[in-house]
Amino acid sequence: MVVEAFGLHYLPNDRLMKYLILPVLLIVNLTAYAQTFEFTQTALDIEVPTYMIEKENGHFISVSTYGEDVEANYRTLIREFSREGELIQTADFPYIDTLSSSTLYIEIREDTIVAISSEGDRDELTTRLWYSIFADDFSVIEHKLIGEGYDLLNITDVQKISGDRYTITGFIHSGGPYFHGYVAVINRNGELLQENEYEGLISKPTAIMEKNDNTGFILKVSSRGVALINSDLEVDTIVAPFELDVLFGADNTMKRLDDSTYFMSGTHEIFASNNDNIGIKKIRHTDKVLASGVFGTPDSTEVTALTQSLDFVYPDKIYCGGWQRNFDTHPFLSEYPGWLILSQYDEDLNLNWTRYYGGDAFYVMEGVLATQDGGCLIYSRRYAFTGFFDYDIHILKVNPDGLLTSTTTPETSTNITVYPNPTSNYIFFDTGEASMYDVSFFDGLGKVIFQEKIPNNRPVDVRHLPVGMYTYVLEREGEIVSQGKWVKE
């Protein structure tokens, strides 16, 4: 059986993996590990990716939570993939019988892999934090508890900070509708150094970042602003609204640019409307928003990736991502197809491009990972309407232009990109300008067979067209802005 996604073909291999290996696309001055691949468990399993990192050799390490159904115990898998998307090795985390387990952070330290995870106890309804070290072959070197356990602690962010330490941020269910914010600091050996609980506006902190002078932390506390916390984890002040009232929800991401500025991403609320979009801001450390960006479409609802919606390796390529959801159905499950959305900005938040991926299933973006080649990897859960919460993992790697790796070159005309070419599902026309366009498709005899009015870089559904070669013409206000050849597979 051949599975189609984004116009590419996936050949199921074994019970854990179906992958596609494509030739390497060379980018000037960059070595592209640009491959597209998808892997899944058997039909009885539900799997959700929670974190990914890239090794120096271009391989990827992923962790995911999986279980047979929504009532079963959930365990964590760790995998390594080559730059071509081939599965190299996989292993289970060494957890006891639990209701759920989830790995929230991994990093490469010398020849080992460090992981910080949470584990929910089925009987006691408590949460334990774990610190684990794995050898390069995924054998366990160390696996131990952090602290004494907590009442239903939800972790929202884990970051490495100065002094080879780590911050753990989340919120504790304190009974009823109330929550207490939580921040802890551990050392490189997984030993708890400090912790504190917070009430009031810090009931559900979503992201944390160390101050540039290492004297404390900046904590995203709510939709209204941030809290400045000293080195003893005590609150100095809460800065609100701090021009951040439009970035809300539990899925904010913060990442430092330099000693004076950082980026924050989150869902951009459109007041009195369910049509939210995705927002990104460039912020001076304590008091000023320097630049803002918003992307998405006015006629739909997009939210930021759940784990990490913002990442960059190079400051001229700031990646921010999210997914399209439907408020009329379950937030993480829908009977309708959806889209993954990725934007690239420069360091002043000038938009380079926005791309849409998907349309053949319902997707929930878990995170984005900027890669060494200047591109970006998107890891998501994919629901193909096969069973209740029957998620697969979907991993998509794009090049610095946001294009899927393929053996063909996208059609371009006066800085306009048409992609993918060839394709069988959807085609995109990216002019770099927000405007409305008329696109027409002609057959080999010059006959118009399909026309549509579209905004810039929105998917055009071509699944109904017969296989063959076509000519397209893209017009704006009656003037031709691009024309060329396109192949329907």
Q: Which two structure tokens, joined as six digits, stand for 293?
A: 């960006």
Is the sign of the CA dihedral 385, 389, 392, 393 positive or negative?
Answer: positive
Domain ranges of the chain: 3-150+243-398, 411-488
- Long-range contact set of residues 459-462: C-beta below 8 Å, sequence gap at least 24: 459/339, 459/356, 459/359, 459/426, 459/427, 459/428, 460/426, 460/427, 460/428, 460/429, 461/359, 461/425, 461/426, 462/423, 462/424, 462/425, 462/426, 462/427, 462/488
Do residues 59 and 81 make contact, with C-beta atoms less than 8 angstroms apart? yes
Report the range of poorest mean pLDDT among 21-30, 44-53, 154-163: 21-30
State which of 43-52, 220-229, 238-247, 338-347 shows the largest mean pLDDT: 338-347
Do residues 178 and 169 make contact, with C-beta atoms less than 8 angstroms apart? no
Among residues of the chain, what percentage have pLDDT more than 70? 79
For residues 438-465, average pLDDT: 85
Q: Which residues pair with 308 in a beta bridge?
A: 367
Question: Widest CA span of the chain, in angstroms?
Answer: 75
Q: Is the pLDDT of residue 395 over 60?
A: yes
Name which residue leads in pLDDT, 14 or 152. Answer: 152
Q: Is the pLDDT of residue 76 over 70?
A: yes
- Residue 207: closest CA among 253, 153, 247: 253
**Residue 141 class from Cβ within 10 Å (0-12 exposed, 13-18 middle, 19+ buried)?**
exposed
Do residues 100 and 135 make contact, with C-beta atoms less than 8 angstroms apart? no
Ramachandran region of residue 74, left (φ > 0), alpha (ψ -120 to 50) or beta? beta
Q: What is the pLDDT of residue 189?
A: 95
Q: What is the pLDDT of residue 337?
A: 83
Report the range of poorest mean pLDDT among 15-24, 239-248, 327-336: 15-24
Name which residue leads in pLDDT, 365 or 420. Answer: 365
Which option is the CATH number for 3-150+243-398: 2.60.40, 3.30.70, 2.40.160, 2.120.10? Answer: 2.120.10
Tell me whether the omega of the peptide bond preceding residue 205 falls within 30 degrees of 0, making it cis: no
- Residue 102: closest CA among 86, 87, 88, 115: 115
Q: Which residue intervals of 58-193 are DSSP H helices?
A: none
Q: What is the pLDDT of residue 164?
A: 94
Q: What is the pLDDT of residue 97?
A: 63
Local structure of 275: helix, strand or coil: coil
Name which residue leads in pLDDT, 357 or 444. Answer: 357
Q: Say which CATH architecture domain 411-488 belongs to.
A: Sandwich (2.60)
Q: Is the pLDDT of residue 408 over 80?
A: no
Q: Is the pLDDT of residue 22 over 80?
A: no
Do residues 233 and 194 make contact, with C-beta atoms less than 8 angstroms apart? yes
Q: Is the pLDDT of residue 428 over 80?
A: yes
Give the strands of the sheet with 127-135, arranged side by side: 100-109, 112-120, 127-135, 140-150
Q: Is the pLDDT of residue 354 over 60?
A: yes
- Residue 266: closest CA among 375, 133, 113, 157: 157
Q: What is the pLDDT of residue 163?
A: 94
Give the global pTM: 0.79
Q: Average pLDDT, whole number, for the chain?
A: 80
